[in-house]
Every structure is written in C-alpha cells, then in structure tokens.
Chain A
Amino acid sequence: MDASDDVALSVRDLSLDFHLRTHILHAVRNVGFDLRRGRTLCLVGESGSGKSVTARALLRIVDKAGRITGGRILLRTEGRETDVAALDPRSRDIRAIRGRRIGLIFQEPMSSLSPVHSIGSQIVEAIRLHTALDRRQAKQRAIELLRQVEIPDPERMADRYTFEFSGGMRQRAMIAMALACDPDILIADEPTTALDVTTQAEILDLIKRLQVDRGMAMLLITHDIGVVAEVANDVAVMRFGRIVEQGPVDDIFHRAQHPYTRRLLASTAKLEAGGGKRAGAAAAGAPILSVRGLGKVYGDARRWLPGSGRYALRAVDDASFDLHPGESLGIVGESGSGKTTLGRLVLRIVEPSAGTVTYRDREGREVEVTGLGKRELRRFHREVRLVFQDPFSSLNPRMTVKDIIGDPLRVNGLAQGPALEAKVAGLMALVGLDPQAMERHPHAFSGGQRQRIGIARALALDPRIIIADEATSALDVSIRSQILDLLLELRARLGLSFLFISHDISVVRYFCDRVIVMHKGRIVETGDAEQICTRPREPYTQRLISAVPSPDPRRKRMLHRLRADDPPAVAARSGAGG
C-alpha cells in the first residue's frame, strides 16, 4: 500500500492494551489499514474482536483503561500529515480533529444526543466549535444539514427535542451533526444495529449517498455481513484484535483466503439459503395451540375521567393462529409490532384483554388457557416453556448452573439429590455443554453457552411447546447458527413445537415452517416461510423483505428495495396502522 494522494488516513501497526483488574487484554494487535477518499472500508468482526476500539482509537476516545502501545495513525488532510497516535488525548490539537476532520456516528442515537437541548442547538454547537460562523448563520447551516439528511420540514424540526424524534430520525440528526463541519473522514460505529430493518436500509442508503457525494473516506464498523455486502468498497475482517484478512469487497466475499472469513460467510450464507432440516409431517393433525382474537390494550382500563380512553394502545389486536404439533411457527415484525407481547399473552405472563388461547394437552383434552387458575396455569407452564432473548439477564447470577437448570425440577418435585444431578448432567449434555461445569456460576460462560443453559432449563420439564423470544438475536452470527442447529436437532429428537419470535428474517426463514408477519399489533400476513420470504403478497411484507441486506455484493438488494411511498406498495391497508 503506497501513500498515494487519495489516502486520507492510514493506520500502521496499531496496538492497544486494556489494563484490567486481573489481566491485560491486547484488544488491538498490529492493525493496519488505509482510508481512501470516496471509498468505504468496512471493519467487520464479531463481538470482542476489537473493531469498535480501533475506531475509537482513531479519535483517541478510548476508555481510561486502554492505552495505545504502538503504531501510528497518520491523518493526511489539507496537505499536512499528523500522527494522531502521538497526540495527547486531551490536547487542543486532537479536539481540532474530532468533529472537524473526522466525524463519528455512534450506535445508540438516543444516548449520544442530549435530551435537554433541541436537535438544532446541538448541531449549532458542533458547527460553532469549529467554524467562525455566528449564531444565525450556524442555525441556517444546521437547517441545511437536516435537509440533506432528509428530515422533513427541517426549520420546525430543528427546534424539537430528541425524544420527539423516532429512532431513524435521531440517527439522521446524529449524521447531520457528524457532517456539520465537512469532515474528510466519517466513522460510523454500528450505525444501524439498533434500528429496524426498513429504517436500517434508509439510513445506510443515506450514509452511502452522502459519503459518495462529498467524497469522504468512510470507516464503517459492523458485525452484519449483509450490511458489508451492501455498502463496502473494501473489507477488513477482525478477530481477537487482529485483522485476519483485508481486500476489496468482491475478493473477500468470493475469494476469501482466511478460514475465519470463510466460516463467517458460510454461517451467514447458510441462514440466507434458508431451509433448515424441516420436520417432515408438519401441520398434521389437530393444532396443539389455537389462538383466537387475542388482544392486549394498554391504558384503556376503566378510567375515572370519561374520554381519557382515547390514549389506549393496542399492543396486540385480534391475533389468531394455530400451532400444529411438530411445527415451527415464526412471528416476525419490527420493534413495537407486538410480537413479544403476543408470546407473553400466550403464556399469560401478560394478561390478555380479549380472545382465547386453547391448548391441547397430551391426552388430547382441550384446555382453555385464559380461564386457568393458578394451579392449572402452573401445569400449563410445565408444558409450554419460554426461552429468553438476553442470555445475561435471564440467568440468576447468584446461582450455579446446576441450580438454574435443576430449579424447575426441584420446584415441581420431580427430582432431588443425586437424581437431580444426573438429570441436570443429562440436560447439559443434550444441549452440548460439559456436565462437569455444573457447579460454576453463569458469569463463567460465554453468551452462546449461556443461551444453551437457558435452553436446558426450558427442556428440563419435558415440554411440548417452546416459545423462543428472540432467542438468537443477542448472539454473534457464527454462534447464532450453532444455536439454531441445536434447536432444530432438539425439535426433531424431542418432537417439540416452536413459536419462534424474531425480527431477523433470515433466522426465521432458516428455522420456521410457517411465518406470521406482524405490524403495529396486527397480523398482516400468514403463510409458508419460503413463500413469505421469496414471494410476499402484502405490501408491508414486501417492504420488509426487500429491506433485508443481501450478503452478496454482486446481488445488492437494499438499493432496489420497495419503499413506503413507492407506487406498487399501495398505501391502502391503512388498517394495519392501528
């Protein structure tokens, strides 16, 4: 790599250590790359690979415990070359670079914008820190920036506060702020991870267009292979603090050299290809679970004042579906669509406001779940189990793994003493954990292992239905496919039925037989998984599916996606918007 003119920033042999309590973590090891004007470099890696730390090191905003131990960060702007690594992280020089030369977009737009200042005034502040514009000119410029990031009615929106913006709008405002002083380099640290898939597509679209128009160099940090394929020119793959492979996007995706890159691509492609091993005779026989007209309304309940019921929120509205024995039914939707609430209504963790849930037990008797008393509800909870999203908060940190997995057995009086231990060991082996680790506490396990513990706990009572609520969304892509394969294997082996709640279309496509699409509390479409993912009928589903990034740079999908205002997506069906 030569230091040609279009290189805006080059990193050479950068190493960074974190001095932790018990050990030193070499978070970044001999990392080197170039950012070129008008091009996008994607730094991709799983959690803990050091990609975010690398990005933060470029601006010298790493936490106190982190120290740069070697290497150079050469910033080439306005014909000068500055070594950022040699600057004092609190000096005037570095502050002149932050925001002015290098703009940064964070992952979480809520916490990176101030809640007590209006959006406009925050952008004005960013402008006035680095330029000589007066307050009025700066305001003018702020409005112009908001217009560029496609915020409608920017004059008025500039005076609004963060909480009045939706997630996507906040991220747009954040981008406007990062671009306030025409930086030469834009660093985007997981800019769309917290966003829904349709919003993600819009934001990526916007960032990419602005970057090309302004000829900026961009460093995009992401864990999502699909995002990489959609926007990258070059790719660097990080693992355990090292860049294992880097090159142009097409080479990485189609001629990957390093086994890790190939594995990463393979686990994504596997999900994309769809069709996990289907359990043959699905949809056979009477449904094991029938839901009719289920609904949940918040804020409506008998108010003292007449007329205050207007503010009722229909979290789930008139949901009906059947789950057949041995079937996996996926529930997909964006955040706020009511999919998680639907799962909790079925279990009555949240009490439904309307509708019925009918469960057919082992003897074929129909049980009306919504009318069960405490004792019968317990029996129902033994047969219908929940797997949680967050592998950290769903396991009690004070209990050993043996106690966690064995607790349902002990509570229900099914096993004790050595029998309990044997049962727990069997369950741990079933989910692919070493039974010898049963005396350990959850903090000794990785995210994927913890999720396996959660699955073992769900299986302990020999259930018939498992409700998996975003069970794989907190996991890295390679771990995700492992957990999905484990669930598939368990389903075939134990004859389980699954209600699989997820926002991730590819996961649902891989795992489920049939899919329910939810939008604003309503079920918009129900159908065969393959059909929904390839030939959706409803306009909302079409928009949703087309916004999913494709993990192949030769078949970019997002740029051709359907938008809400596109002609084919007739804006009818407004009934979906409760």
Chain B
Amino acid sequence: MTMQDLVDLDAEGPAISPLKPGRGPATMAAVGPWRLMLGKLLRQKVAMAAGGVVLLLYLVGAFAEFLAPSSPDLSRPQYTYAPPQGLSLFAPTKDGGWDFNLHVKGYKVEIDPQALRRTFVVDDSKIVPVGFFVKGRPYKLWGLIPLDRHLIGPVNPNDPMYLLGADRLGRDLLSRLVYGTRVSMSIGLVGVAMSLVLGVVLGAVSGFYGGWVDMLIQRLIEVVSAMPTIPLWLGLAAAIPLSWSPLQVYFVITVIVSLLGWTGLAREVRGRFLALRGEDFVTAARLDGSGERRLIFRHILPSLTSHILAVVTLAVPTMIVAETSLSFLGIGLKPPVVSWGVLLQDAQSIRTVATAPWLLFWPGLAVVVAVLAFNFFGDGLRDAADPYES
C-alpha cells in the first residue's frame, strides 16, 4: 500500500448532499449546544406560535396602561352591565353619504315594562368616534414616565366605549382584562421563580448525595404532595390579615402557590441528577479532582439547564391556574387588585352569567389561551432540550 493510496482513502467521506446549499454537517460542527437547541426549537411551528402568544401576553402585561382604553377602576353606574359594542369603520355623514370614521355606537337605555329591568339597546343615531393614540386619562408608565396617550379610545374621553362590555359597576372589561394580564402572568413567573430555587436545590441535593438525605427529601415531597391543596390554600389565605395592602397580599399568595408547586420540579431535577451522577464524564471530573460543588454546578447542572427551562415553562400555567382558582374562591387577590381570577369572581352567580355572559367568557378565554400557549411552548422546549438526540 503506497502513501498515495492512503491519502486518497482518507480524503473520501460519507456521501452527503445538503438540503440547502451551504448547510451541511460541517457548518453544524462548530456550533455550541444552545445554538443546536435553538435550531431545533425554531423548527417546531406550533411551539413557536405558542411562544409568540406567550410573548404577546407579557407585552400586554408590560404596557397595560398604554393598551387599556380606560382605567380599570373607573366606574360609571349608568352603564352597569353594558353589552359589548362593535367597532365600525364607516359612518353616515351629514349630507347623507358614507365616510370613513372609526366609531362605536352609543347606548340607549330602555326599561322592560314587565320585568322592570334596564336593558341597553344600541342607538344607531349616537356615534362615538374612536381614535388611535388618543388623549385620555393620564398615567405613569411603569410608575416613571408620565403619559396620557392610549392606543385606542373614544376621541372624547367622556363618551362610553365598552368593546368587551362592562361589569356590575360599569367598568370597562377590556381595560380590566389588560390590567389583569399583568398580575396573572407575573404571578406565574414569580411563583415559579420561587419554586425553581426550592426545587432545584432540594432536587439536586437529593439526587447527588442519595442515601438518607435523598430518603428524607423524597418523603418530604410526598408529604407535601399528599396535602389537599384547596383546604390548605384556604387556611393559609385566611391567615392573611385584612389590613394588609394589596401588594403584600399579592406577595403572600405567590409564596403560598409556590410552596406547593416545587415538588414536581424537585423530582424532575433529582431524576436527572441520578442519571447523570453515574455518567462517565462525571466520574472523569471527580477523578480530575473536582470538588462536590464544582461537580454539581460546573458539570451536572449545565447539562440540565435546558431541561429545567422546559419544566419551568410547563410549571407557569399551573401557577396561573392556581392563582385564578384562589382568587375565584375569594381567598386570593382581592378587588382593588385586578387579576383574571378576580374578574371571574364577578361571574360566580348564574344570574350574572345569564345577563352578562361576557364577564365569564373573556377572562376564561384569557386563562385558557395563556395556559395552552405555555403548555405548547413548554412541550416544544422539552423536545428541543436535548440537542444531541437525532
């Protein structure tokens, strides 16, 4: 065998045609694990769409003051249970023609002579012009920037505009829903952040050390998961003093929700640790002289971060649902604070649902959309979490 033969042999490789020009395994070679994971995630259409929805919801929460047409607390007794108005593009002009004029129709109140009940009837003659970036109630964005423009609103601030209807006190449901997004979505994040710390630390300790430590933590997890959640929540929430400010209550509620939510995460992390602890590369690091802290934080945890991210994403909706149910039962957040759960509280009686179904429909839809979006996105993340599987 000559040298020339050998060179020819090694120059040959497996036969490959790239799907797109310029992209082959060679270009993937220099890429790190996070890029691989992102690439895998980007290929999942449903997960990306769901991720878009999640992002949108957080943007809505972040810019609630600007996006809401009105204030969530502004009550107008004359518009109690006013039904949703439709947005129209064209309005008749004075000379009988039609012209572009974004508007909603005003209301006329009629009294049903038999039931003596007030009903709202759309009054075609009253036209409430609506505009974008209109001047409205002044507010401070994020408590810092003083502004008075709203994305959409009636040109005359005193005109009624209820795109999603009004509640018992004549407050605008759309504005309340927008403000509720902020509270409900953030309570999910804050709650998960707290369970993340608990879950990762206890799960890592449990899985890494094993033995009686593991035994103890696992039994603790079982005890916590065995507790009936609703009575426990009821008990804890009932212990919150009435004199506390809404902010304090909000904080305590997140703690309560997360105290019960960490167990699943801890189990997941423990399982991963148990599997990785026996891997050759961990043994190798141990033989290299790495201490336990370095083994956990430098060698094992980085292999888990993508999994943890996926689990966390899947845990957020549980938190959202937990907050919603707590508030719905009246033991979570309380009225001056607006959350989806608080909004649903208004839809508790069947009479309200019969007269104003939008009070049930829109907040309920918001919860369902948020939970589904998180779940789809989390599933996608989980599939992408291990970039080295084919």
Contact = CB atoms under 8 A, between A and B. Distances in A.
Contact of B288 (A20, A388, A395, A457): A457
Contacts of B14: 25-26, 48, 240-241
Contacts of A298: none
Interface stretch (B2-10, B238-246, B315-323): B2-10
Contact of B15 (A240, A349, A381): A240
Among B30, B281, B303, B388, residue most surrounded by chain A Cβ atoms (within 10 Å): B281
Contacts of B30: 439-440, 444
Nearest to B12: A240
A259 interface: yes
Interface stretch (B16-24, B70-78, B183-191): B16-24
Given A259-B9, A411-B289, A440-B30, A394 B280 contact: yes
Contact of A23 (B5, B9, B17, B390): B17
B294 interface: yes
Interface in B275-334: 279-281, 283-291, 294, 299, 302-303
Interface stretch (A175-183, A260-268, A422-430): A260-268
A29 B17 CA distance: 13
B15 A25 contact: yes
B29 A24 contact: no
Nearest to A411: B289
A388 B303 contact: no
B18 A22 contact: yes
B303 A259 contact: no
Contact of A349 (B18, B33, B283): B283
B228 interface: no
B28 interface: yes
A347 B287 contact: yes
Nearest to B299: A396
A408 B33 contact: no
A385 interface: yes
A252 to B, nearest CB: 15
A520 interface: no
B9 A260 contact: yes
A263 B6 CA distance: 8
A288 B336 CA distance: 78
Interface string A445-469: 0000000001001000100000000
Contacts of A381: 287-289
Interface string A385-406: 1101110011111111000000
A381 B291 CA distance: 13
A36 to B, nearest CB: 29
A117 interface: no
A386 B287 contact: yes
B13 to A, nearest CB: 7
A385 to B, nearest CB: 7
A549 to B, nearest CB: 24
Interface size grouping (class) on chain A? 35 or more
A382 interface: yes
A398 B386 CA distance: 11
Interface string B28-45: 111111000000000100
A161 to B, nearest CB: 27
Q: How large is the interface on B (under 10, 10 to 19, 20 to 34, 35 or more residues)?
A: 35 or more
Interface in A260-280: 260, 262-263, 266
Contacts of B388: 397, 443
Main secondary structure of the interface of A (DSSP, over half): mixed
A489 interface: no
Interface in A19-59: 19-26, 29, 48
Nearest to A49: B14
Contacts of A440: 29-30
B97 interface: no
B1 interface: yes
Given A262-B1, A394-B281, A407-B288, A23 B33 contact: no
B29 A444 contact: yes
Contacts of B33: 397-398, 441
Nearest to B287: A381
B16 A23 contact: yes
B284 A388 contact: yes
Contact of B280 (A263, A390, A400, A443): A390
B19 A407 contact: no
A554 interface: no
A266 B2 CA distance: 13
Nearest to A386: B287
A457 to B, nearest CB: 7
A378 B33 CA distance: 31
A398 B302 contact: yes
Contacts of B284: 386, 388, 394-395, 454, 457
Contacts of A534: none
A23 B280 contact: no
B29 A411 contact: no
Contacts of A385: 287
Given A393-B280, A398-B302, A259 B1 contact: yes
A262 B1 CA distance: 7
A525 to B, nearest CB: 30
B25 interface: yes
A395 B289 CA distance: 16
A140 interface: no
A135 to B, nearest CB: 42
Contacts of A441: 31-33
Contacts of A400: 32
B8 A23 contact: no
13 contacts: A19-B19, A22-B19, A22-B24, A25-B16, A48-B14, A240-B15, A259-B9, A263-B9, A349-B287, A397-B388, A440-B29, A440-B30, A441-B31
